[in-house]
Amino acid sequence: MNLINLQTLQYPVSIYTVKAANPNTSYPDTPDFVPEGFTTVAPTPLPDYDRNTQKVVEMPPAQVLNTWKQVWAVRDLPADEQQKIRDAKAAAARKQRNALLAQSDWTLLPDAPVNVAAWTDYRQALRDVPAQAGFPFDVVWPTAPSAA
């Protein structure tokens, strides 16, 4: 439970902080106890945001009809952080693509009982994954043909 100091508007304040700041005061051990001069801040859900390009930051709470509520703001990540995320997702997608190619290497054997054209198209589609418009965030993985 987060509290706000109604005099200083300090937030967040925990009951443990209040107790530590007032060692000569005895407080009840009930979990819903709110000391005088403080009030609870009602939690609110995180807003929707793009984890690849944005972050959520907690702002000072707002008082709405005598209730203090948690406030969130969506901020853009710095360009270098966005690039790091993009690079990591691209590396992970390429790793998955390479694993799928390796799993289908057996289809290249001359005596493999497969539809060679279908498997050739599948393997080319895997190689083309990095060229997709949504890469690396929205990858559409091709479906492997049946083995027989």
pLDDT at position 118 is 93
Say yes or no: 87 and 111 in one domain. Answer: yes
Tell me how many domains the chain contains.
2
Q: What six digits make up the tokens of 49?
A: 């945001």
**Tens digit of pLDDT for each residue in 2-21?**
899 999 999 998 888 888 88
Say yes or no: 70 and 105 in one domain. Answer: no
Contact status, residue 131 vs residue 97, Cβ threshold 8 Å: no
**Tens digit of pLDDT for each residue in 70-89?**
999 999 999 999 999 999 99
Contact status, residue 36 vs residue 61, Cβ threshold 8 Å: no
pLDDT at position 148 is 61
Query: Which of 57, 76, 95 finishes a domain?
Result: 76
**Tens digit of pLDDT for each residue in 93-126?**
999 999 999 999 988 888 888 888 999 999 999 9
**Tens digit of pLDDT for each residue in 19-46?**
888 888 888 877 778 888 899 999 999 9
pTM for the model stands at 0.68
Query: Which of 76, 93, 110 finishes a domain?
Result: 76
Query: Which of 60, 76, 92 finishes a domain?
Result: 76
Name, in order, each residue with C-beta under 8 angstroms of 68's C-beta and a sequence gap of 6 or more.
4, 39, 40, 41, 42, 61, 62
Say yes or no: 85 and 68 in one domain. Answer: no
The C-alpha atoms of residue 17 and residue 13 are separated, in whole angstroms, by: 6
The C-alpha atoms of residue 116 and residue 122 are separated, in whole angstroms, by: 10
Say yes or no: 67 and 84 in one domain. Answer: no
Q: Which domain holds residue 111?
A: 79-131
pLDDT at position 127 is 97
Say yes or no: 125 and 71 in one domain. Answer: no
Say yes or no: 96 and 115 in one domain. Answer: yes
